[in-house]
A = this chain, B = another copy of it.
Amino acid sequence: MRKYLRTLALLFTVPAMAQTPTAQLELEKKFDGLIDAKHIGENIRLLSAKPHAIGSAQGKLVAEQILAQFKSYGWDAKIETYHVLFPTPKERVLELTGPVKYKAVLREPVLKEDGTSGQDGQLPTYNAWSADGDVEAELVYVNFGLPADYEQLEKLGVDVKGKIVIARYGRSWRGIKPKIAQEHGAIGCIIYADPKEDGYYQGEVYPKGPYKNEFGVQRGSVMDIVKYPGDPLTPGTASTENAQRLDRLNAPNLLKIPVLPISAHDAKPLLAALEGAVPPPDWRGAFPFTYHVGPGKTKVHLKVAFNWDIKPAYNVIATLKGSQYPDQWVIRGNHHDAWVNGAADPISGLASLLEEAKAIGELAKSGHQFKRTLVYCAWDGEEPGLLGSTEWVEDHQAELQQKTVAYINTDGNGRGFLEAGGSHALEGLVGDIAKHVQDPQTKVSVWERSKAQLVANAASVKTKKELLARESVKLGALGSGSDYSTFLQHAGIPVLNLAFGGEDEAGEYHSIYDSYDMFVRFKDPGFAYGVTLSQVAGRSAIRLADADLLPFDFRKLHKTINGYVGELQAVLETERENTQVENQLVGSNVYRLAADPKEKVALPVAKDEVPYLDFSPLQNALNGLDKAAARIADTVAKQGGSPVLNKALYQAEQQLLTQQGLPRRDWYKHTIYAPGFYTGYGVKTLPGIREAIEQRNWKEAQEQIGIVSAAVNKLTSYLNQIL
């Protein structure tokens, strides 16, 4: 379910680590020679040939095809099966019952230009983990359905309690929208694609162009994965056949209200019928009428019911045992399940992964002995909530924490620029690789091209200048939305998440039009970036597999965390000044006098003042980490690696976990990275502190400074002990 929000990484540089050895570069050249665009394309066509969601017969067939391919490449491969809850629709009804009648189509039409669009076996348009429900109520438009949107509704005097809300896709992960709606007392939630964000406003629509046509619908999970992902019935443990399961109705990350995603075509009559206040400009989409928020005479009837079945999730796990350090594992993964055909999501990433496996198999056959064990995985059930990967990590957690050097994730691919996120101690590795891999369109390195794009699109000349001075890739921080999540945020295993994109903008996401026909026209024609992704992700895997000294550099991590702390201090300072000035304006009646007396809009009220927080424990902790990281870097530069040292290095990130977990979501253990509680996929760095500040919970913010400081100190002590 790739489509995470990109994070602007920060602007630091530290000296590069040791040069990549010549033998390694030669191996990588051979590796490149074994990557074949045509074969990647054939695999995309093969694996996206039919709808293959988790639990479907075709899904099983796809897992078996992948298994066979791994085996044919010389890998030791097997399927590990978990038994997970997965709802599919039994009934879906949405109708406008007043003042005019309209019955929603809830169906994407077959297109003659899209050969697979008329196939049997497609999952209907729905949001997995909606509750069963049959409700009829007045409709309220809630914009993107974010907390700030409900604040705006309150200003307009609109309460969604007992109402059905309609929110547009965008600005947050979709699951956040019904969650916040439910928190505000709504009894149902409709999510639609406004043509402003995802349709004709953006460009030509499918099949003429790549953007979403009026009937396109984004399926997707609305599980509250920011509490925990995986099977909702087995948080923290594996969904084995006989595992103890929660009662579904008590699962803390499942909604109590019905939710349904709909097309622009179906949303249009609903929104057109609304009356009530006209919301501010940033609430207005691209439909040709005046947007209103309701409520009023406009009533809708929403009825959804699901088959709540336990389904097998088939993770395909392929292993190539290491010659020197078989108990040090480099894991690489991409999911194989799709909402429908999934040519882009996930198959384009999976085809690159399989191509790497093929090349690695060839290298092994031709005599190269990889030092560490390579584990290549194709996950099932990612779409409904990272089911396959989460259950697998939860199942093998202790062993994985012992053995995993790093987990390298992909989740689809397209034409454009390198997008890389992950554990910042691995930033140097990705930076070096990005300088060695060529962009297929411009023939400069993918680093140079992605830097050019950052610079060219920066909002200010000041930022352009700063970015131009950047010397290497800055990794984005990772939130959630793909299979790296459990490795990183629950188990503290270093991860990377890699993709190309930015020149593949389209509207096929999670629709029946995410097809091979769409892919070859608009996403990665010729599969050139399929090759490039294999080159980057494959290099990451084989360098880690063969490195004498694992390329973890904690100076990069220190610089990054230090940057986050600076950000938070600035946020707090700004919020303090804003609060002070706004309270002054409230006190001096400015908003009352400026308001239009004919419009009933609630006025801003005074807020509690922002206290000064004590960041010194964290600043001192980071000072310690700085020294420890520098000492490690100096020492290993002189001494080189050793099996014990390497193990200590890759396990270091686990020190940043806090056993108590994040507030109100203890499955999430990482103190540096988490998805946002009210934003979803998008990352919140230093989440405990940052979200407390955002929620104006100053006490918790101070406590969390202590918790993060302790974690950083733990890492520092650990680093000081390993050498």
* Apart from A442-B592, A449-B593: 4 A-B pairs, beta carbons within 8 A: A201-B284, A209-B290, A286-B288, A468-B584
Asked if A457 CB lies within 8 Å of chain B CBs, one says: yes
Sample 9 A-B pairs with CB under 8 A, ordered by A number.
Answer: A200-B288, A200-B289, A200-B290, A442-B593, A444-B593, A449-B593, A452-B593, A452-B594, A468-B581
Contact of A464 among B456, B468, B585 (CB under 8 A): B585
Query: In this complex, what residue of B is CB-closest to A452?
Result: B593
Please encode chain A, from 412 to 452, with 1 for each CB lying within 8 Å of some chain B CB and 0 for all others.
00000000000000000000000000000110100011001
Residues of B contacting A448 with CB < 8 Å?
593
CB pair A461–B581 under 8 Å, yes or no, is yes
Using a CB–CB cutoff of 8 Å, the interface residues on chain A facing chain B are: 195, 200-205, 209, 211, 278, 284, 286-290, 441-442, 444, 448-449, 452-453, 455-457, 461, 464-465, 468, 503, 577-578, 581-582, 584-585, 588-598
Contact of A203 among B278, B457, B584, B596 (CB under 8 A): B278
Residues of B contacting A590 with CB < 8 Å?
452, 455-456, 468
Residues of B contacting A468 with CB < 8 Å?
581, 584-585, 588, 590
Closest CB in chain B relative to A170 CB, distance in Å: 14
CB pair B200–A455 under 8 Å, yes or no, is no
**A662 and B209 alpha carbons, distance in the complex (Å):** 50
Closest CB in chain B relative to A374 CB, distance in Å: 33
CB pair B588–A195 under 8 Å, yes or no, is no
Residues of B contacting A204 with CB < 8 Å?
278, 290
Residues of B contacting A202 with CB < 8 Å?
290
Residues of B contacting A205 with CB < 8 Å?
290
Residues of B contacting A598 with CB < 8 Å?
503
Closest CB in chain B relative to A204 CB, distance in Å: 6
Closest 3 CB pairs of A and B: A452-B593, A456-B594, A452-B594
Query: In this complex, what residue of B is CB-closest to A464?
Result: B581
**A456 and B594 alpha carbons, distance in the complex (Å):** 7
Residues of B contacting A286 with CB < 8 Å?
286, 288
CB pair A288–B287 under 8 Å, yes or no, is yes
CB pair A585–B456 under 8 Å, yes or no, is yes
Closest CB in chain B relative to A518 CB, distance in Å: 16
**A205 and B455 alpha carbons, distance in the complex (Å):** 43
**A24 and B89 alpha carbons, distance in the complex (Å):** 80
Contact of A461 among B284, B290, B453, B578 (CB under 8 A): B578
Query: In this complex, what residue of B is CB-closest to A455?
Result: B590
Contact of A597 among B203, B441, B456, B582 (CB under 8 A): B441
Residues of B contacting A589 with CB < 8 Å?
452
Query: In this complex, what residue of B is CB-closest to A577?
Result: B461
CB pair B203–A290 under 8 Å, yes or no, is yes
Residues of B contacting A597 with CB < 8 Å?
441-442
**A288 and B585 alpha carbons, distance in the complex (Å):** 40
Residues of B contacting A585 with CB < 8 Å?
455-456, 464, 468
Check A594/B455 contact, CB under 8 A, given A204-B290, A581-B464. Answer: yes
Query: In this complex, what residue of B is CB-closest to A444?
Result: B593
Closest CB in chain B relative to A210 CB, distance in Å: 11
Closest CB in chain B relative to A183 CB, distance in Å: 29
CB pair A503–B596 under 8 Å, yes or no, is yes
**A200 and B286 alpha carbons, distance in the complex (Å):** 11
Interface centre among A201, A584, A588, A593, by most chain B C-beta atoms within 10 angstroms, is A593
Query: In this complex, what residue of B is CB-closest to A200?
Result: B290
Closest CB in chain B relative to A659 CB, distance in Å: 40
Closest CB in chain B relative to A74 CB, distance in Å: 37
Residues of B contacting A581 with CB < 8 Å?
461, 464-465, 468
Check A457/B278 contact, CB under 8 A, given A288-B195, A288-B287, A452-B589. Answer: no
**A288 and B598 alpha carbons, distance in the complex (Å):** 31
Residues of B contacting A288 with CB < 8 Å?
195, 200, 286-288
CB pair B453–A594 under 8 Å, yes or no, is yes
Residues of B contacting A455 with CB < 8 Å?
585, 590, 594
**A203 and B290 alpha carbons, distance in the complex (Å):** 5
Query: In this complex, what residue of B is CB-closest to A205?
Result: B290
Residues of B contacting A464 with CB < 8 Å?
581-582, 585
Check A201/B456 contact, CB under 8 A, given A503-B596, A597-B442. Answer: no
**A419 and B459 alpha carbons, distance in the complex (Å):** 33
CB pair A456–B591 under 8 Å, yes or no, is yes
**A597 and B417 alpha carbons, distance in the complex (Å):** 12
**A573 and B448 alpha carbons, distance in the complex (Å):** 30
Closest CB in chain B relative to A604 CB, distance in Å: 9
Interface centre among A278, A448, A465, A594, by most chain B C-beta atoms within 10 angstroms, is A594
**A55 and B452 alpha carbons, distance in the complex (Å):** 61
Closest CB in chain B relative to A125 CB, distance in Å: 22
Closest CB in chain B relative to A415 CB, distance in Å: 8
Residues of B contacting A284 with CB < 8 Å?
201
**A647 and B582 alpha carbons, distance in the complex (Å):** 47
CB pair B201–A290 under 8 Å, yes or no, is yes
**A338 and B363 alpha carbons, distance in the complex (Å):** 84
**A581 and B578 alpha carbons, distance in the complex (Å):** 32
Query: In this complex, what residue of B is CB-closest to A290?
Result: B200
Closest CB in chain B relative to A607 CB, distance in Å: 13
Closest CB in chain B relative to A457 CB, distance in Å: 7
